[in-house]
Structure 1
Amino acid sequence: HTHTLRHSYATHLLEDGIDIMTLKDLLGHQNIETTMEYLHIAQLESQRIFSPLDTLFAQCSGR
């Protein structure tokens, strides 16, 4: 149960945009490869293609 909770916590942090090195430190991993195992499960926003103009238009329209 603890492993599942830890795994969910790490995956959600990645999905929310935390950087991999910060996650490594939070999880107490010595080796970055251990932390990188979480990357294949996380649904990262950076995988979605968008234009910087989308961000600009969203800010201008107050969304």
Structure 2
Amino acid sequence: MRRYRFKKRISPHSLRHSYATHCIEAGINLSDLQQFLGHQSILTTTRYTHLTNHQTETAVERLNLLMSRLYIHWGEIK
């Protein structure tokens, strides 16, 4: 049997964090993930997720899209 040395410690807890992060990156809704993980509070679920570069890029793209649709004329937003 071979033993592998990982630089980072791997535990069930770290695997759960990874799973939650990958689910969010795959587009799974946070409230659905809350149910999958069995959390009563959505705040508990948010602790398991991490904002990744992929999520940041997606958020920036969505915000830019929303802002490109915004038209301001004489102080009115249309």
Q: TM-score, normalised by structure 2?
A: 0.55
RMSD: 2.2
Could you report, residue by residue, the CA deviation over 1:8-53 in whole angstroms, capped at 9, with x for unpaired residues?
00000000100000000000001011112244434425314165xx
1:46 aligns with 2:58: yes
Give the number of the structure whose alpha-carbon radius of gyration is greater: 2
Paired positions, count: 52
- 1:6 aligns with 16
Gaps of 5+ in 2: 1-10, 66-78
Q: TM-score, normalised by structure 1?
A: 0.66
Q: Choose between structure 1 and 2: higher helix proportion.
A: 1
1:25 pairs, out of 35, 38, 42, with 35
Q: Choose between structure 1 and 2: higher strand proportion.
A: 2
